[in-house]
A = this chain, B = another copy of it.
Amino acid sequence: MDDSKIRNMEEFASVSGISRPTVSKYFNDPESVRKSTRARIEAALEQYDYRPNIYAINQNRRSTKNVGIVVPYLADPFFAEIARHVETHVIGAGFRPILLSSHGDPGQEIGNLDSLRALRPAGVLMAPLGRASDRAMVEAFCEEVPTVLFDSNLEGVGEAFVGHDNRQATENIVKYLCRTGEPPVFFEMKTPANPNANRRRNAYLDVMRAHGHEPQVISIDGVGWEFEEIGFRGAQKALAAREFSTNTVLCSNDRLAIGFLSAAYETGLRIGVGAGCAMRVAGHDDHPFARFTCPRLTTISQDYTSIATKAAETLFGLIESDARAASRETTLFDGKLILRSSA
């Protein structure tokens, strides 16, 4: 490798023996130049390791190669995982991912969109906060930048939505619980952060009634994104008050369930399916930590590999066609029962 530094594309073009416009064409799409030309450029690239100035590129191109990824709460490993999958796809498609977390705060969410706007991204993959989101502001953003929503749906906002089939999944696990023991009580936050929680509750109510069981919903207090803590306190209270009409609990999500199990353990209540167990507890999402609770949590998984893939592919399609979606498509993926020892 020659140590003489290349300052710009002009210099690089001259050392590679190719004109600058052609070199520029090469960097925009290596396939767009003749094979022999490509070979000469790549030979020079080996020797001088030049890279085009990203700011100069983005100043002149209509659209950048940036893709925003916005998640509501990165400290939740579930979102960290899905962000990682999305990121991998974004890089694979030749884009540059810009990962932003809203940290559970609607103001930060809008701030993230603002800061993305300044980067003029080719598109954005966004998991909104949900209920708390400033709908009008998000909507305005989506009209400027092609945006695909995932995880949490804001009806009518963005080009498409890709998520989890909360109804199918909830029905699935409720039926499982009914089949193998007493029907479940539904354990949820009174003011849930996103619309998935409502879908889950409604699906629970429907399937319980359809099977002739009396539903019971326990809605606990607490706001914010510290679900484990909220679940812990809620469970302490509810257990002390003996609010549960059956010995089975379906938590609205795994993080609440993690808190629930912790509280149950502290009060000496044995959770699980074996002999000597007083109660069954199930969750929803197959959170990365659900495998390590005590007992290990029976839950229903989100297919977040498929969700991430579909969301990314949908966005890339929009970007390539340089068009807005004809109609807003909604894609839901099925959950799978994950049987462990808690229920």
Contact = CB atoms under 8 A, between A and B. Distances in A.
A77 interface: yes
Interface stretch (A50-58, A143-151, A153-161): A50-58
A193 B105 CA distance: 33
A115 B56 CA distance: 16
Nearest to A51: B118
Interface string A82-99: 011000000000001011
A175 interface: no
Interface residues of A, number: 42
Interface string A244-276: 000000000000001101100110000000000
Contacts of A303: none
Interface string A203-229: 000000000000000000000000011
Given A292-B228, A294-B262, A296-B262, A84 B80 contact: no
Contacts of A327: none
A27 interface: no
Contact of A288 (B75, B292, B295, B341): B75
Chain A's interface: helix, strand, loop or mixed, by majority?
A: helix
How many copies of this chain does one complex carry?
2
B291 A293 contact: no
A119 B96 CA distance: 11
Contact of A84 (B51, B75, B81, B266): B75
Interface in A61-118: 74-77, 80-81, 83-84, 96, 98-101, 103, 115, 118
Q: Which 6 A-B pairs have the closest CB atoms?
A: A294-B294, A265-B294, A75-B80, A55-B59, A262-B292, A55-B58
23 contacts: A54-B119, A74-B84, A75-B80, A75-B81, A80-B80, A84-B101, A84-B103, A96-B115, A99-B99, A99-B100, A99-B101, A228-B292, A229-B291, A232-B292, A261-B294, A262-B293, A262-B294, A262-B296, A266-B295, A266-B296, A289-B289, A293-B294, A294-B294
Interface of A: 51, 53-56, 58-59, 74-77, 80-81, 83-84, 96, 98-101, 103, 115, 118-119, 228-229, 232, 258-259, 261-262, 265-266, 288-289, 291-296, 341
